[in-house]
Each structure stands twice: as C-alpha cells, then as structure tokens.
Amino acid sequence: MIAIDGPSGSGKSSTARDLARRLGLGYLDTGAMYRAVTVAFLDAGVSPDDTDALIAATTGADLAISLDPDDRWVRVNGRDVTAEIREPRTAQHVSVISRIPACRADLVARQRALMDSDPRGCIAEGRDITTVVYPDADLRILLTASEQARLARRGGELGASVDAAELRDQVVRRDADDSLLVNFTTAADGVLELDTSDMTLSEVVDSIVALAKETE
C-alpha cells in the first residue's frame, strides 16, 4: 500500500495515477469520493447548513468508484458523476462535507475497505491517507509545492474554464477550509515529504518508484 497526501495542485493525483500504472497497483482518488457525495447532497436539495441531513446524505450514499488508473469513473446513487465532480459547483461546496467529522468517518471506512479489496494493493491519495485512512501503508508520502506552483498546475488542468479569482478559490481558500480538521501541510512522523515545486511529474514518479523499491 502507498499513501500520498498533499494540498490542491501538489500533483498528487497525476503522481498517484502514474505510479499505479508503473507499479501495477490499484488507484484510489479519495477526493473524488468527497466530491461525489457533494453532488449527491446538491442533487437532493439538502441545505449546506443542515448538518444532520448532510450526514444522512453521506452515510446513505450508494457510492462506487473505479480503482483502475486507466478507466476512472465514480457513481453515486446509480448516476455516473465522473465529469460532474470536476465542475466548479462541486469544488465550491465540497468542503461542506469534508468539514463534518461524521462524514469523514464514513468515507474513511469506505476508503480503507476499498484499498483492502484490491488484491494488487493500492495507492490512495488525499489529505489524510498517511495519517488516518492508512497509517500502516508501506510507503507514506506528503507532496508539497509552493503556492505559485500549485496555482499554475491547477490552472493548467482547468484551462480557460475558470478565471483567476475562481482558481484562487479552488486552491487557496479550499485548502484553508480543508485544513481545519486535517493537517496536510506538514509531514507526520514517518511520512516522507517531497517538495515538487521544481520537479516534473516524471521526476516525482521516478523518485517515488525508487523509494517503493527500497521498502520492498
């Protein structure tokens, strides 16, 4: 098992996906699960202020996610929301879910079960994988990058669909909100920190492959 955490734009999704391909492991994007639950509560017309209803929407969600790095999809309550979870509306509201401890506990339990279900082993990425979801992983890594590098990367991913203010909201404001319950800016004991500001994706992947070989 490999656990990767980091803030938005640190490169953890692309890194984890490439690593899963290289090492023949499953890939779990835990942020996609928080996003899928967000789509479900917005669809159901639940108010972002109604904590009880948000918890019910989370624990009651019929959630399925692919662990195949080359065939990524996520479904909630029978609906494919693979594209919708990337829309600005979802990103704007997702911290509503990630800030509620009972919602986190429900998703963490699902994430552990998903990781354990993959016979190849799994690489999971998120904010609390190294500390809460899978602290026993063989390799635990915190990816960091300067704010400038993170804004540039997320901007590249989102393209012309967002303006500068929206981009800052998706990176800086969301990280501030998300870090209220979870620390993903400093490495916990035993977690290796890798500052990727001046590294290319393939350099990051190569260095983690080397670390994975050392821990074998």
Query: Interface with ligand DC by CB under 6 A: which residues?
Result: 8, 30-31, 34-35, 94-95, 98, 126-129, 174, 178, 182
Angstrom distances, CA of residue 178 to CA of 42, 58, 126: 19, 17, 11
> DSSP class of residue 199?
-
CB of 175 to ligand DC, least distance (A): 8
- Of 24 and 174, the one with the shorter C-beta distance to ligand DC is 174
Angstrom distances, CA of residue 124 to CA of 74, 131, 146, 156, 192: 15, 12, 22, 23, 15
CB of 176 to ligand DC, least distance (A): 10
- Of 93 and 213, the one with the shorter C-beta distance to ligand DC is 93
CB of 15 to ligand DC, least distance (A): 12
The CA radius of gyration of the chain, in Å to the nearest whole number, is 16
- Of 11 and 31, the one with the shorter C-beta distance to ligand DC is 31
* Residue from 141, 142, 115 nearest 30 by CA: 115
* Angle, CA of 129, 7 and 48, to the nearest 5°: 85
Amino acid letter, residue 51 = T
CB of 177 to ligand DC, least distance (A): 7
Residues in CB range of 162: below 8 A, 6 or more apart: 88, 155, 170
Helix (H) or strand (E) holding 3: strand 2-5
CB of 8 to ligand DC, least distance (A): 5
CB of 133 to ligand DC, least distance (A): 7
What is the rounded distance in angstroms from the CA atom of residue 128 to the CA atom of residue 125? 8
